[in-house]
Amino acid sequence: MRLRDFVEEFATATGDQSLTVVNSDQPPTVTRMLTGLFTNQPVNIETVNRALAEEDVVQLRRDGHVVSESRFGDLRDTILAVNADIYTTGVRSLADVETPAVIRDLEGIKFHVRGYPAASKGKLLLIEISRYIESLAADAGGGELHAGFQRLSRLTHERGTRRAYDELVQTDLSIHVYGVGQLDMPTSWHLTVHADDASELRRGWFVIFDPPANTQIAGAALVAYSIDIEQNEWVGVWTSDANSIRRLRSYLTTTYKASVD
């Protein structure tokens, strides 16, 4: 079992998945941005006008049944009208992360995305879910958080990522970070580093929150794998299944031992 195998295993969604825009009062460009974000993905985009229905909402439907609903304006502000710079520059804190339900509930769907330079917004879904999982961990304040950065230096060199982990290390979380190279971290940070030159860590992207035992707190895990590093091309999926979360966490801690200075 390797990281890429978990992507395939967690892709459990079946049936027709769609995001239906109901009674939109957004400019047409916003709907086009939503359509563009999901082009060539296993999620259909539909636009309908319905009498007596709520205005300006997006519904996630599975085989025609409504799974969840979000304000279209919230989807615009958190995903469609932003770019990846908001995450790397640190404009938004973890406390400000409010991922719309229709995005969170796309779990179990394998997405095939491209980042810069091939696409400007392709990776936003995976980036947003990464921050969402980190925000879950921050809110819980305990349990385990495991995250893979490809290169460990990104943890401190990307201002947004560093800001997020500045917040996370102030909690009682057990934080584990994975990647290649060295991590020159602040002395105030208390986390476990798993440094390894393994190919799958160079290509792997994962964020896993396993909540404290014997609590009702929900966990989540994202796992993605680069199928073309030069083109910044990824396949990825996320899940809230507790058993899947623990299996992925166990694989990582068993395969990649903590580094010793």
Domain count, the chain: 1
Q: What average pLDDT does the segment 115-122 reach?
A: 62
- What length is written for the chain? 261
Q: Provide the mean pLDDT of the chain.
A: 91
Question: How far is it, in rounded angstroms, from Cα 159 to Cα 164?
Answer: 9
CATH number (domain holding residue 198): 3.30.870.10
Evaluate whether residue 260 is within a structural domain.
no
Q: What is the mean pLDDT of residues 190-205?
A: 96
Q: Would 226 be classed as within a structural domain?
A: yes
Residue 91: its pLDDT value, please?
62
Residue 120 above 70 pLDDT?
no
In a domain, 115, yes or no: yes
Residue type, position 116, single letter: Y
192 confidence band (pLDDT: 50, 70, 90): very high
Residue 144, domain extent: 3-255
Question: Is 179 within 8 Å of 150 (Cβ atoms)?
Answer: yes
pLDDT tens across 77-110, in order? 999 987 666 666 556 789 889 999 999 999 999 9
ω into 42 cis (within 30 of 0): no
Give the global pTM: 0.94
What b/e readout covers 42-62, taking b as 16+ CB neighbours within 10 angstroms? ebebeeeeeeeeeeebbbbbb
pLDDT at residue 259, as a whole number: 86
Which of 121-125, 196-200, 221-225 bottoms out in mean pLDDT, i.e. has the lowest?
Answer: 121-125
Query: Burial code of 172-184, b = ≥16 C-beta within 10 A, e = fewer?
Result: ebebbbbbbbebe
Tell whether 187 is covered by a domain.
Answer: yes
